[in-house]
Chains A and B, each alone.
Chain A
Amino acid sequence: MAINTAGTSALSTDEGVRRRDWIHIAALSTAGVGGASLLFPLISQMAPSEDVLAASSTDVDVGAIQPGQSIKTTFRKQPLFVKRLTPEEIAAAKKDDAADMRDPATLASRTKEGHEDILITMGVCTHLGCVPLGAAEGENKGEFGGYFCPCHGSHYDVAGRIRKGPAPLNLKVPEYSFSSDTVVRVG
């Protein structure tokens, strides 16, 4: 590289590299990195805001739920199903534990130890997010006696496991813990 000369010799060398190329690269890189870094806040602003994230735990009193009964509540503004299974439903769910399923899971893995009659799932179909039927009295429970999504015909069994239809996964079991024998903290 020519160092000690200005003017014409600085503009080009045998390899076609010019000192001015450095200015071009530096200027374009600065503008490019600067411009690209602007994308981050523009993309990030669309993510859930702090207040949406803050509303992320819900207390549910399960003491009043009778066997065979379900309640619908909300968790993160989405429906949450809390169901107390009857002994027959528990037996049926356990009998199917080894059945051929799309998303294999046992009843025990979907409930808490000592509370296997309390099934807590999101009321959000894993296909495209409709609210399945079956949590309220008289609703269609589908071919497997659990939940049925009317939008695209997904059938869930008593343990909320996908058995038939387009949904890929079982109804999601959110993080939760029993803060007393009858109160559940979800989230």
Chain B
Amino acid sequence: MSFAWAKQYEPQSAFTKWLDEKLPFPRLVYNAVGAGYPVPRNLNYMWNFGVLAGFCLMLQIVTGVVLAMHYAANQAVAFGTVEHIMRNVNYGWMLRYAHANGASFFFIVIYLHIFRGFFYSSYKAPREMIWLLGVVIFLLMMATAFMGYVLPWGQMSFWGAQVITGLFTAIPLVGEPLQVWLLGGFAPDNAALNRFFSLHFLLPFVIAGVVILHIWALHIPGSSNPTGVEVKQESDTVPFHPYYTAKDGFGLGVFMILFTTMVFFLPNALGHPDNYIEANPLSTPALIVPEWYFYPFYAILRAFTGDLTIPFTGIVLIPAKLLGVIAMFGSILVWFILPWLDKSPVRSGHYRPLFRKFFWFGLIPTMAALFYLGGAHAEEPYIMLSQIFTAYYFMHFLVILPIISQIEVPKPLPFSITEAVLGKDKAVEAPRAGTVDGTDAGTATDGSLQPAE
């Protein structure tokens, strides 16, 4: 599957010819991430994070499988086996620190990948399915990361499990039985630890499966690009290999420098000291917070302190606890309808003056504030600030984006990626078929140029 001008795989040796007939795996690689996959020539470094996320997933699976060889999921010994890994197992300290910091870096990469999508509207047609699958991957990652954090059976592990499964008790009627069922007991204990380990081992492979669907869906329209103008001709693209393998390789090098710096010099900087205290069901730590990558959603959860009532009657429609849980899940689920909330036909934020202002001065500061507030104590002024920023967060997606896409006058789009890069495009000298008034140039693609299977 690719554009009409994509290079075709031609096996050279007798062996590769033989293999290509029996199992065309090299052909698959060639067409997916090789010279047979034409990619827009103007991708910037924000397009590195997909490959980096794939690398992080492999890193987590490799280090995780190795750690599982030395870990025991039993509440009597789990904490001890983690210390055993740290002290006795050869290079155990390195593998565990790589796995723990790998999770953090995975989320850093994914957040940048997601916000690339927000700014360049990567979620818009024809790429909605890529976006939807991406949100599914993000939800699976959150579940996996949460269950992984429970496994060391420290104080934060235990109380994190208690609080997060406690979210389900907010559901009317079935909430409490549901929590008991999830935990296999009335509080987190051996049953919960065991099943979390089982699922923590399973889910990364489920993620890998959805990642394959994500990439498959990507290869049908091909990558988006910083102009948001669709690929029109061969001069708009370069082959993935060697151009983007090299660019991604450079990005991977930068990533590894930062990652190894954390693993070897600041391995616990992103963790909580309380998790080096063994789980104690009778003592709650003074401040229960999740890992840093959940802070924005935790801040939204804690922002709801009052019930939703019918004014002056005192009838409670939705209790505060359920409101918080709905808002927390809703803050991610709203991404599922994002392709239909933002109706502007222009994709790239570079050509959307109004959207751009709200992105840089609205959404980004809001996310930064929620990141900070999620880790703060549940007291004023943090609660009120959480409420303000939570309100803006939902406003941005549900109100501001739809309105902007109605009233905004976008800047003129370049005719093609080639014109955007070189300043001129030979094809422009020929009579123009499309318009460049910014309404359809970015979306209308010539049917004959649609990539085919």
Contact = CB atoms under 8 A, between A and B. Distances in A.
Interface of A: 43, 46-49, 52, 72, 74, 76-79, 102, 123-124, 127-133, 149-153, 165-168
Interface in B140-186: 159, 162-167, 169-170, 180-182, 184-186
Contacts, number: 95
B195 interface: yes
Interface stretch (B86-94, B265-273, B316-324, B389-397): B316-324
B187 A78 contact: yes
A150 B433 CA distance: 65
A130 B282 contact: no
Given A52-B191, A127-B166, A128-B162, A76 B287 contact: no
Interface residues of B, number: 38
Contact of A129 (B162, B191, B282, B287): B162
Contacts of B167: 128
Contacts of A74: 281-282
A162 to B, nearest CB: 10
B185 A48 contact: yes
Contact of B191 (A49, A78, A124): A49
B307 interface: yes
Contacts of B187: 76-78, 124, 129
Given A48-B191, A166-B321, A128 B166 contact: yes
B305 interface: yes
B261 interface: no
28 contacts: A48-B180, A52-B184, A52-B191, A76-B187, A102-B307, A123-B282, A127-B166, A127-B321, A128-B163, A128-B167, A128-B321, A129-B163, A129-B165, A129-B169, A130-B159, A130-B288, A131-B282, A131-B283, A150-B284, A150-B287, A151-B287, A151-B378, A153-B305, A166-B302, A166-B320, A168-B170, A168-B319, A168-B320
Given A48-B180, A151-B288, A72 B186 contact: no
B305 A77 contact: no
Nearest to A44: B181
Contacts of B320: 166, 168
B378 A153 contact: yes
B373 interface: no
Closest 7 A/B residue pairs (Cβ): A128-B166, A129-B166, A153-B378, A131-B284, A128-B163, A76-B186, A129-B162
Given A48-B184, A131-B283, A77 B378 contact: no
B184 A49 contact: yes
A48 B195 CA distance: 12
Contacts of B283: 131
Nearest to B180: A48
